[in-house]
Amino acid sequence: MAVKVVHRRELTFWEKLYVPQILTGLKITSKHFFRNLFLHIVHRIGLLRHLRASATFQYPEEPRPLAWRFRSRHRLTVRDEGTPRCVGCMLCETVCPAKCITIVAGEHPDPNVEKYPVRFDIDLGICVYCGYCVEVCPEDAIRMDTGILDVAAYSRQEMQLDIHELMNPKLRKPVGECSLKFPHECRLRAGQMKGDWEAVYGKAT
């Protein structure tokens, strides 16, 4: 095994005097103090905003910048007419190592699409934020780019996201009115089916 010899340097006489070293330390802390004090004061009158006076982020008001690949709360991407891009292939539910995704597929009127999710739940209390569901999705229907990371709730029930919240990341619990037109199992209506395709595509000709 290689041995690393650490040479400890003897203190010079100047360093042993202690007072000069204290003054050096004071110089460093004072430099920070006066620089930051000056910047804080100047920021008050709106100058030199590009120089930061502190490393602090005032968190709830001033969120930290996120990396572009950061995995935050999920969302379902939406087609122009307001239906989910998801085709109910179950790949994400299958790949999910935490088994937090529940999908119930229904028949889509468009034969090219074939299926769509009648129900799409993600239990964030179980989710490990691995991002496999995003990787595996062939339709780019699920993404983790909402930037929402302060998911918190008082109960396990509230940690479960349903299709309303997944399609509209702006919604927070408690979700008010259901605005989805296509047929889905609406938790807001105690799990009953709600909506019909005519509201989305108009009367079939």
Partner 1 sequence: MIDLAIKLGLAFTVFFGVLNLAGLHTWIERKQSAIIQDRIGANRASIGGFRLLGLFHPLADAVKMFMKEDIIPARADRVLHTLAPFFSVFFALAAFAAIPFGDRLILGDRVIELQVAKLDVALLYIFAMLSLGVYGVILAGFASRNNYAILGGLRATAQMISYEIALGIAIIGVILVYQTLDLQELVRAQGQLLGGWIPMWGIIVQPVAFFIFVTAALAETKRIPFDLPEGESEIIGYFVEYSGMKFGMFFLTDFLETIMVACLATTLFFGGWQIPYLLPDGFHFPWGATFAVSHFTYVGLGVASFSAKVLFFCWLFMQLRWTLPRFRYDQLMNLGWLGLFPVAVANVVLTATVLFLLGGRA
Assess contact for 137 and 96: CB atoms under 8 A.
no
Interface region with partner 1, contact rule CB under 8 A, candidates 35-43, 89-97, 107-115, 147-155: 35-43
Verify binding: residue 168, partner 1, rule CB under 8 A: no
For 27, the 3-state DSSP assignment is helix
Q: Which is nearer to partner 1, 25 or 147 (CB)?
A: 25
Tokens of 200: 């989305």
Verify binding: residue 53, partner 1, rule CB under 8 A: yes
Verify binding: residue 11, partner 1, rule CB under 8 A: no
Shortest Cβ 42–partner 1 spacing (Å): 14
Verify binding: residue 40, partner 1, rule CB under 8 A: yes
Verify binding: residue 42, partner 1, rule CB under 8 A: no
Verify binding: residue 32, partner 1, rule CB under 8 A: yes
Residue 83, judged by CB atoms within 10 A of its CB (0-12, 13-18, 19+), counts as buried
Single-letter amino acid code for the residue at 159: M
Q: Which is nearer to partner 1, 56 or 155 (CB)?
A: 56
Assess contact for 114 and 87: CB atoms under 8 A.
yes
Verify binding: residue 28, partner 1, rule CB under 8 A: yes
Residue 17, judged by CB atoms within 10 A of its CB (0-12, 13-18, 19+), counts as exposed
Q: Which is nearer to partner 1, 21 or 179 (CB)?
A: 21
How much helix, strand and coil, in percent to the nearest 5, is found in the chain? 25, 15, 60
Residues that bind partner 1 (CB under 8 A): 19, 22, 25-26, 28-30, 32-33, 36-37, 40, 53-56, 58
